[in-house]
Structure 1
Amino acid sequence: MADLNKWTPSDFLEPFRRFLDGDLTQSSIRVEQFLDGSTLVVRAEVPGIDPETDVDVSVADGMLHIKAEREEKSEQQDKYGYRSEFRYGSLSRSVSLPPGTREEDVTATYKDGVLEVRAPAPEQAPATEKRKIQVNRS
């Protein structure tokens, strides 16, 4: 099985994909990914969100997609005056799943500002058959 602790081509291409899709307003979510046995574990740093309403985790075409909306507000009033701050924005990240991962086996949990997604992979990736392409003369 390939070493998933290394960067994959999709990790390098993610900023370009976001540029081409017009997603320049979205920031990338910081993630760490590693293997726990044969399970890919992706931990995403998304503090200050409600996991039931502010995060969307989906799987399509061999890719894990994480999208989060964050809105933080703070207000302070004392004898010197009133101060209000807010931060908001969209965050997203896509990660390649191991070959042969079944979408229905992917799970996600959220605790202490960290979203953890677990994607069990088969011990052996399904073999892809080599197909010879006929070259025709024109």
Structure 2
Amino acid sequence: MDLTKFKKRHPSGLLSQDFFDLDNFFDDRMWKSGLMNADFWNGKTVEPALNIKESEKGFEIELAAPGFSKNDFNITIEDGCLNIAAEKERSEEELSEDFTRREFNYKAFKRSLQLPDSIREEEIKAEYNNGILNFRLLKKEAPQKRPPKVIEVG
């Protein structure tokens, strides 16, 4: 017995399910994948993914921000909070006798992280490479414990 995969045909007869599932495209890809999420469509910014690794010496933070350049970032520290913001705008226009083509793209995000008291804020380093914004945060040296002092009652 030979098994043959069933190919659902689009009513127009032009598209098979293997090539492009027009019947379920919006249901599966838009609703189930989260593209129809209210935050995505109502102009709110979406927070980029973030990894935080801790070691004895400090923390390493990786923030996924593809498509930006170093100059697009605004990074500040205020009241013990690391504030990361990026904004990029691009527009292109092509004029011809027969048509005008205009394209634009805008993307932005803001992310804030409360820093622990054990971080040396003045030594925070940031580097952007291949779409990943890396931070290196060094910990302060822990104060050495002193032996308890005995006070005699007089």
TM-score norm. by structure 2 comes to 0.52
Aligned sequence identity (%): 29
Q: How far apart, CA to CA, are the structure 1 residues paired with 2:91 and 2:60?
A: 31
Shift of 1:47: 1.0
Q: How far apart, CA to CA, are the structure 2 residues paired with 1:111 and 1:63?
A: 23
1:100 has 2:87 as partner: no
Residue in structure 2 matched with residue 120 of structure 1 by the alignment? 138
Shift of 1:85: 5.0
Matches within 5 A, 1:1-138: 25-52=44-71, 54-71=72-89, 86-124=104-142
Residue in structure 1 matched with residue 32 of structure 2 by the alignment? none
Larger radius of gyration: 2
Q: Which has the higher contact order (CA 8 A, sep 6+)?
A: 1
User: Contact between 2:58 and 2:119, CA under 8 Å: does it hold in 1?
Assistant: no
Q: May I ask how many residue pairs the two structures share in their alignment?
A: 98
For structure 1, which runs of at least 5 residues remain unmatched after alignment? 1-23, 76-81, 126-138
Residue in structure 2 matched with residue 7 of structure 1 by the alignment? none
For structure 2, which runs of at least 5 residues remain unmatched after alignment? 1-42, 94-99, 144-154
Q: How far apart, CA to CA, are the structure 1 residues paired with 2:132 and 2:92?
A: 22
TM-score norm. by structure 1 comes to 0.58
Amino acid at match of 1:103: E
Residue in structure 2 matched with residue 8 of structure 1 by the alignment? none
Q: How far apart, CA to CA, are the structure 1 residues paired with 2:109 and 2:122?
A: 24
3-state SS of 1:27 partner: coil
Shift of 1:72: 5.3
Residues 13-53 of structure 1 show CA distances to partners (whole Å, capped at 9, x for unaligned) of: xxxxxxxxxxx73321221111133211111111111112x
- CA RMSD of superposed structures (Å): 2.9
Amino acid at match of 2:59: L
Shift of 1:98: 2.2
3-state SS of 2:70 partner: coil
User: Contact between 2:124 and 2:136, CA under 8 Å: does it hold in 1?
Assistant: yes
Amino acid at match of 2:119: T
3-state SS of 2:69 partner: coil
